[in-house]
Chain A
C-alpha cells in the first residue's frame, strides 16, 4: 500500500470507490503528501467533506475524526465546530466544485469573511458528475454535458474578470491557489502553504472525470486523453499562455497569518469582554 494511504487512510475505504481513471486520488494525494511533509498526525486533523464525487469518495478515508456535511453546508458546520474544538486542531475539507462554487458559495464566502481556520481543497471535476454529468459553475464554456446538449453557454465562474477566486479573495480568504491534479510536487507546495496558514485557505484543483465529462464533452472515456486535455489547457500563473489556457496554476493570493483566524478572534474577544465585565 502507498505509504500515505497506510499512514492516513482506513483500509476499509482504500482503494476508494471512485471510477477507473478518476483524477480525484491525485488531488487527495497532493493534500496528504503536504500533511506528511508537515508532520501532521491523525489527531491533528478533523477531515470534513461534502456530497458529490469529491465528498463521498473522500468521506471516511481519514483514519482520524471525520465528517461529511450536506450539499454546500460543511463551511457553516465547521464554522461552529472550530469554536468547539480543543486548541491545535486543524480542519481540512475536500469538497466538490458544485458544493463550493454553487450551492455552498454563500457559506463559503462567509467562512472566508470570518477567516475561519480551515483548509478547503475544492476538487473540481468540471461539473456535476456523480449525478450523471450536468454542467456546473466551473464547466468550461461550450462543453457538451447531459444538461448542455448544445454546449454550455451560461456564464461560469472561471473566466477572466469573473474568477471565483477573486470573489473569495475579496471576501477575506488569506490563502488561495489553483492547480490541476497533475501538478504533483508543485501542487503539494501550495497545499503546504495552505495548511500553514492559520486562517481561511482554499486550493482549487481541477481533476479529470473520465466517466462523464470526458465521455460527453471530449467524446472519449480514454483517461490519457482527458489528462492531456487538462494539461494542455493549463499553464503556470506567471506564464503568458495561449488562448487555449483555461486554468492558470499557482498561488493566487498569500496573506497567510496576516489577521487572526475566527476562533482566535472569538476567544480573544471573550477574554476581553470578561475583563470588561469584571471591572
Chain B
C-alpha cells in the first residue's frame, strides 16, 4: 500500500489506471481540470491515451469511440461540462457502452461559483440525457479515498451492466488534499474490496438481446463480428428500426438490467440506525462528513438521531426509507433535490425536512440546533420542506 497526501483528483486518476482505463478524453473545467492533468501524465505511463477534446460533447463521444474499439475509457467534468454530455450520454446508454463519467459538482446554475462545492446535479445524473426510458447507475463518494474505490467499482459495474456509470463528487472531494492509500499488489486490492472485470467481446448475432440479464459482453467494433451500433432504436441484431415493439424490448433491457440487479451495486452507510431513531439525517458526498460528526455529537447529548449516507444515489435506494420517522436532508444546494426523493420514498406519515447550504459546509453547531428543533416537534419550514427564512 502506498500512502499519499493528495487530492481526490489524483485518487480518481490512479483508480482509473488501476481499473484498466486506457483512454481518457476531457476538456479543462474547474474543479475537474486536475483529473485531466493527472490522466495526461498517467495514461502514457500505462500505455494509454490522453485526448484533449474540442468540447465536452466531443470528449464523451471520443470515450464512446474508444470503448467501441475495446478500450476502457473515462471522462471527467463539472456541471457546465456535464450538460454537454447530454448528447453522447444518451448514445452510450442506448448502445450500452461501458465507460465511466466523473462529475465534480460546483455551485450553479450556469457557470456559477467555479471553485466552491455544490450538489446541483442530483437529478441531472439520473436524467443525463433526453428521451427517458432508461435507468442509470450513480455512485457518490465522500472522500478522496472513497473516490478511488468507487472509480474502480464504476469501471467494474460499467462492464457488467454495459452502461455508463457516473461518479458524482463535489469540489471538496476532488480538490481537497487527504490521506490516500493506493494498493499496489493484487492482495492489497482484494483487501480493499476492489472488483475488476476485463472487457469482453460480443460476437453476436444478437448484440442487443431483449433480456434483463447482466454480464452480456458489449459491442466491440473492428473484430469482424459484423456488429452494428447506432443512435436509433436497435433490433436485437443492431439494425435501426421504427417498430414500437422493438423499442419496448430495447428499453425494457435498459431499465430492468439495472433495476433487477441492484444487489450488485447498492451501497450506503448507516449510523445509529439500529434503535429506530426519531430523527434520520440523510445526505451524500461531502456534507455527509459534517452530518456524521453532528450525529455523533447529538447522540452524546442523548438525542434520538441516526444518519443514512447514500453511496448509490441512483437507482434511488427506496428500501432504506421504510421507517416512519422525521427525516432531514442536508444538501449542498438551496433548492432541495435529494429531499424530494426522500419525501417520495418515505412512508407518507413521515415528516420531511430540508437544510441546504451551498459553497461551504454547515457548522456542526447549527446542525445540532436543527436536530433539537425537529426533535422538539417544531417545524423548521413554513411550507413542507422549504426553509422558513433565508
Contact = CB atoms under 8 A, between A and B. Distances in A.
Given A64-B224, A68-B231, A73-B61, A84 B44 contact: no
A125 to B, nearest CB: 19
A35 interface: no
A78 B23 CA distance: 13
B161 interface: no
Contact of B222 (A13, A59, A85, A270): A85
B61 A63 contact: no
A266 B62 CA distance: 14
Contact of A76 (B65, B69, B223): B65
A53 B59 CA distance: 26
A67 interface: yes
Interface string B56-70: 011101111111111
B25 interface: yes
Given A83-B23, A110-B58, A67 B53 contact: no
A79 B58 CA distance: 9
Interface string A54-83: 001001100111111110010011111111
B349 to A, nearest CB: 46
B87 interface: yes
A76 B229 contact: no
B221 A77 contact: no
B69 A83 contact: yes
B71 A83 contact: yes
Contacts of B270: none
Contacts of A73: 57-58, 61, 87-88, 91
B347 interface: no
A1 interface: no
A106 interface: yes
Size bracket of the B interface:
35 or more
Interface centre among B65, B68, B221 (most CB of A within 10 A): B65
B379 interface: no
B53 A76 contact: yes
Contacts of B61: 69, 73, 76-77, 79-80, 107
Overall SS of chain B's interface: mixed
Q: Is the interface of A mostly helix, strand, loop or mixed?
A: helix
B66 A80 contact: yes
Interface stretch (B10-18, B232-240, B331-339): B232-240
Given A46-B222, A89-B222, A80 B63 contact: yes
Contacts of B54: 76, 106-107, 110
B190 to A, nearest CB: 28
Given A76-B62, A80-B61, A84-B65, A13 B224 contact: no
B230 A67 contact: yes
B169 to A, nearest CB: 24
B73 interface: yes
B345 interface: no
Interface in A134-186: none
Contacts of B224: 42-43, 64-65
Interface string B190-230: 00000000000000000000000000000001111111111
30 contacts: A12-B239, A51-B231, A56-B232, A56-B240, A59-B240, A60-B239, A65-B223, A65-B227, A65-B228, A67-B230, A68-B231, A68-B240, A69-B61, A69-B231, A70-B87, A73-B57, A73-B87, A73-B88, A77-B61, A79-B62, A80-B67, A80-B73, A81-B65, A82-B65, A84-B65, A84-B66, A84-B70, A84-B222, A86-B222, A274-B44
Interface of A: 12-13, 42-43, 46, 49, 51, 56, 59-60, 63-70, 73, 76-86, 89, 106-107, 110, 266, 269-270, 273-274, 277
